[in-house]
Amino acid sequence: MKEIVVLSGKGGTGKTTMLGSLAFLAENKIIADCDVDAADLHLLLAPRPGSENKFVSGVKARVIEDQCSGCGTCDLCQFEAVTLAETATIDSLACEGCGVCAYFCPEDAIVLDENHCGTWFISDTDYGPLVHAQLFAGEENSGKLVSFVKSKARELAEETGAGLILVDGAPGIGCPVIASLSNTDIILAITEPTQSGWHDLERVLDLADHFKVQAFVCLNKWDLNPEMATEIKHSCQDREVEFLGEIPFDPAVVSCQINGIPVVGNDDEGSAALAIRGIWNKLKNRL
């Protein structure tokens, strides 16, 4: 079984659009949306409602007011989550769930509640099964939820005999992205020819080196800045990262998004669709 993660570093460079199209083109696969912080893939793949489950991870501390003597021991919290007045109160957004306050409270006035911090789904789409999730707003366990979504996708792939898992990664290069890289065979990095896009691509490629995952690069909207597109291609060459292709700016991409369909596989495939097909043909031979 192979696994491809699509990453971009910088947001908004066409990561989800790319993944939606790969979902159309690839056969016998499971799709996993690991951008759990802002999961958008379902907007393109129109999943039919399937199973919906709670995601519980970590704990949050809560003060039982009646038992609190206001002694202030819990002020040892390193995360500025504790406010002291008559009794202590805990800001659950700031609480990291370390449990240190509860451990040291002489009155046993602090309890640790399980933290229900998101929802995960397995849904069916026209393109295959989709595992996706939504972390509740402001939560901090995105890495854990990503690992969870990936493990579910893997189970499902084993059950159904799917040969491929397609993963939509998160923007950035932090905790959720790192979590999405475990057991991955290939990173497909998609960026655009802008200073920011390039800067962030370099960071993604550094990350790929750091975790020793093979990376491929493609460029979206390359014609907005052909000179920089060329420079980015050269820099890929210098790093010995294979460049798989470039996608032109194509207004059809926005209209497909508005209609909630992948860019490839609709009646009037334009220049972007063609380019994406080309990238996929190369990528699948590298698997």
Q: Can residue 270 be called a binding residue for other proteins (CB under 8 A)?
A: no
Which residues make beta-bridge pairs with 90?
82
The region of 19-27, 91-99, 136-144, 213-221 touching ligand SF4 under the rule CB under 6 A is: 91-99
Selected from 67, 69, 124, 203, the binder of other proteins by CB under 8 A is 203
Query: What whole-number distance in Å separates Cα of residue 236 and Cα of residue 243?
Result: 7
Q: Can residue 206 be called a binding residue for other proteins (CB under 8 A)?
A: yes
| Spatial contact of 99 and 128, defined as CB atoms under 8 Å apart | no
Max Cα–Cα distance, the chain, nearest Å = 70
Give min distance, CB of 83 to ligand SF4, in A: 10
CB nearer to ligand SF4: give 116 or 234. 116
Strands 2-7 and 110-125: unpaired
> 34 CB contacts (<8 Å, ≥6 apart)?
5, 146, 149, 150, 167, 168, 169, 170, 176, 179, 180
Selected from 26, 68, 90, 178, the binder of ligand SF4 by CB under 6 A is 90
Q: Tell me the residue type at 76.
A: L
| Spatial contact of 213 and 4, defined as CB atoms under 8 Å apart | no
Q: Can residue 99 be called a binding residue for ligand SF4 (CB under 6 A)?
A: yes
Strands 242-247 and 214-220: parallel
Q: Can residue 68 be called a binding residue for ligand SF4 (CB under 6 A)?
A: no
Selected from 4, 30, 68, 77, the binder of ligand SF4 by CB under 6 A is 77
Partner touching 38 among ligand SF4, other proteins, none, CB below 5 to 8 Å by kind: other proteins
How many residues touch other proteins (CB under 8 A)?
61
Partner touching 90 among other proteins, ligand SF4, none, CB below 5 to 8 Å by kind: ligand SF4
Q: Can residue 71 be called a binding residue for ligand SF4 (CB under 6 A)?
A: no
Burial 86-117 (b: 16+ CB within 10 A, else e): ebbbbeeeebebbebbbeebeeebbebeebeb
How many angstroms separate the Cα of 76 from the Cα of each of 23, 64, 70, 88? 49, 18, 13, 12
Binding mask 84-123 for other proteins (x = CB under 8 A): ---------xx-xxxxx--xx-------------------
| Spatial contact of 49 and 212, defined as CB atoms under 8 Å apart | no
Q: Which residues make up the interface to other proteins (CB under 8 A)?
A: 8-13, 16, 37-38, 40, 43, 58-59, 76, 78-79, 93-94, 96-100, 103-104, 135, 137-140, 142-143, 170-176, 178-179, 192-196, 199-200, 203, 206-207, 210-211, 224-225, 228, 251, 254, 257-258, 260
